[in-house]
Every structure is written in C-alpha cells, then in structure tokens.
Amino acid sequence: MITLPFWTSYLLRVFAWKIILGYNGVINSGLISIGLIDEPLTFLLNNREAVVITLAHAWAAFAVLPIYVSLEKINRSLLEASADLGESPFWSFLRVTLPLSLPGVTAAFLLVFIPTVGDYVTPKLVGGNNGVMIGNLVQTQFGRGNNWPLGAAISIISMMTITAVVCGVLLLMHQIKKRLA
C-alpha cells in the first residue's frame, strides 16, 4: 500500500493534491455537500501547508520503508527482556527500539531531506506565491531573473548546506553508535 502511489507520475500526484485542495476540489465539495460550510474554503491551497501535505504524501514511502526494514530487524527477545526487567513500553521504546532503529530513521531522513530541498515543482503548483522553496529561487534566477551568477551562488550554498547537514547527521550517528557499543 505504501508504494501504490508510485505507480503514477510524480507530477500527476501533485496535480491530484491540487484538485483535492482546490477551490472547487474534493474537500470543499464534500464539506459543502454535507452542509458544514456554505462557500468553498480558500486557505486550503496556495500556502506552505499545502506544500507540506503534498511533499509528505510524495515522499512518505521513502521514509516508511527504511524505518520498517530497520524495525523488522530488531530481535524481539530484546523487547521481551526489557519487559521482564520491569521497563514500561515507553521506556522500552526509548532504550531498545529507538536506538536499534536509528539507522533506518537516519536513512529515511536523508532519503527525504535531500530531494525535497531542491524540489521546485510541488511549491510552484500547490504553493502558489506562498510556497516558495530554494529550488524555486534557483529556477527563478536562471529563468525570469536571468541572473545566472546569483542562481549559481544559491545552488552552491544549498549544496554546501545539504552536505553539512548530511555530514552532521552521519557524525551524530557515528557518535551514537560508539556510545551504544
């Protein structure tokens, strides 16, 4: 079920969210038909929240699958031992499950973070003027702005920032792994 949306084009999924959140979209039509509202809501589309919802849907599988694989590899006897030693489910999660699933969480973070930083299609289509992200700034500088040096500078700064974040996450994972060993 998680991979089912990948049977369609990314662009079609973004347009589907535009239809769902639009002025005459599925949500507004449904709310009007059941009598909860009298006129369509205008705040569902063309904002940051619409961009976040669309990006979350588009990249959910890239987050869920590595975490799932990581959780599947956890030896259940460790959780049973934690319970036998009197740990509550919450503390068992914090002390056993979370540290053992950190590689999957890290992979999920990196698989989602890196491509979404440069995404410019989703903010352009569902975010309108309020959904601008770094990819849109770069695209504007290379396109309408005709300011290639600024576009290149924004791109390089973005790549350096992403590299710093990735290195920071990997260093943090290394430190956590050393402490757990």
How far is CA 37 from each of CA 33, 41, 43, 46, 177, rounded to the nearest angstrom? 8, 8, 13, 20, 53
Q: Cα–Cα distance between 168 and 174 in angstroms, integer?
A: 10
Query: How does pLDDT run across 40-55, given as a tens digit for each residue?
Result: 888 889 988 899 999 9
Q: For position 5, what pLDDT does the model report?
A: 80
First-to-last CA distance in the chain?
A: 36
Categorize the per-residue pLDDT at 177 as very low, low, confident or very high, splitting at 50, 70 and 90: confident
Query: How does pLDDT run across 60-117, given as a tens digit for each residue?
Result: 989 999 999 999 999 999 999 999 999 999 999 999 999 999 999 999 999 999 999 9
Question: Residue 70 belongs to a domain with what CATH number?
Answer: 1.10.3720.10
Categorize the per-residue pLDDT at 8 as very low, low, confident or very high, splitting at 50, 70 and 90: confident
| Domain hosting residue 40, numbered range | 4-180
Task: Judge whether residue 135 has pLDDT over 70.
Answer: yes
For the chain, what is the domain count?
1
